[in-house]
A and B are shown apart, each in its own frame.
Chain A
Amino acid sequence: SQQGEEDPQALSIQEGENATMNCSYKTSINNLQWYRQNSGRGLVHLILIRSNEREKHSGRLRVTLDTSKKSSSLLITASRAADTASYFCATGEYGNKLVFGAGTILRVKS
């Protein structure tokens, strides 16, 4: 079953702007992860946030997690053309698996 749902489905911004993507999920989770997929490639792990954490940073990425609202957001600051990709959230369920959302397609125009 699909757990995470990303919003928006697609996002187009200018280089240098910030991009925010949201993810909502339905059940209790152990962790939530964000992945990037460039066209025609495999997924690349970006960041993992545990259920007892509220915010995490990695370079230009900032992830927040609100377990009371069952939602997470991924902020990419000062976007670059190379950030153009699909972004997926994945929830770590208490069943030993990651369940992926449908993804947000981000296009950064130079």
Chain B
Amino acid sequence: DTAVSQTPKYLVTQMGNDKSIKCEQNLGHDTMYWYKQDSKKFLKIMFSYNNKELIINETVPNRFSPKSPDKAHLNLHINSLELGDSAVYFCASSLGIAGIFDEQYFGPGTRLTVT
């Protein structure tokens, strides 16, 4: 059973398009995250939701909009895609809030390529 799943695994699209990435966890966790990993492997948090409430919103362009319909799902919608958005996007979840006491479980990643 996949703990944290993301779709799609690969996404190739043109500049200016709008796209979504979906994430689901079946671990019963309360907190979910979106991270962006750039070409140098640097992993940076974008958003975090705890029980469907936004708790972390890093300095991310407002073209990125997360949506959490329930605590098992956290989707990421990106408007007007730019070349600089090309990266691998990871969804993760944790039982509580990871910065305080919990480990995170990561999805397999979505490699987004904007041409």
Binding site for B on A (CB under 8 A): 2, 30-31, 33, 35, 37, 40-45, 48, 50, 86, 88, 92-100, 102-103
Known pairs A92-B98, A93-B99, A98-B104; list 20 more (Cβ under 8 Å): A30-B99, A30-B100, A30-B101, A33-B103, A35-B106, A41-B108, A42-B92, A42-B106, A43-B104, A44-B106, A45-B105, A48-B102, A48-B103, A92-B99, A96-B56, A96-B99, A96-B100, A97-B48, A99-B45, A102-B41
Total A-B pairs, Cβ < 8 A:
69
Indicate which residue in B40, B98, B105, B109 contacts A98 across the interface (CB closer than 8 Å).
Answer: B98
Q: Give A37 to B45 CA distance when docked, in angstroms.
A: 16
Closest Cβ of chain B to A93, distance in Å, is 5
12 contacts between A and B (CB under 8 A): A2-B42, A30-B99, A35-B104, A41-B108, A96-B48, A96-B98, A96-B99, A97-B56, A97-B98, A98-B45, A102-B42, A103-B41
Query: Pick the contact of B103 from A37, A45, A100 — CB < 8 Å?
Result: A45
Give Cα distance in the complex from A5 to B42, angstroms. Answer: 11
How many residues does chain B have at the interface if contact means C-beta atoms less than 8 Å apart? 26
Cβ of B66 < 8 Å from any Cβ of A? no
Contacts of A102 in B (CB 8 A): 40-42
Which residues on A sit within 8 Å (CB–CB) of B41?
A: 37, 86, 102-103
| A103 partner residues in chain B, CB cutoff 8 A | 41-42
Seen from chain B, the residues whose Cβ lies within 8 Å of a Cβ on chain A are 4, 35, 40-45, 48, 55-56, 90, 92, 97-109
Q: Which residue of B lies closest to A102 (CB)?
A: B42
Q: What are the residues of chain A within 8 A of B48 when measuring CB–CB?
A: 96-97
A19 CB → nearest B CB, Å: 18
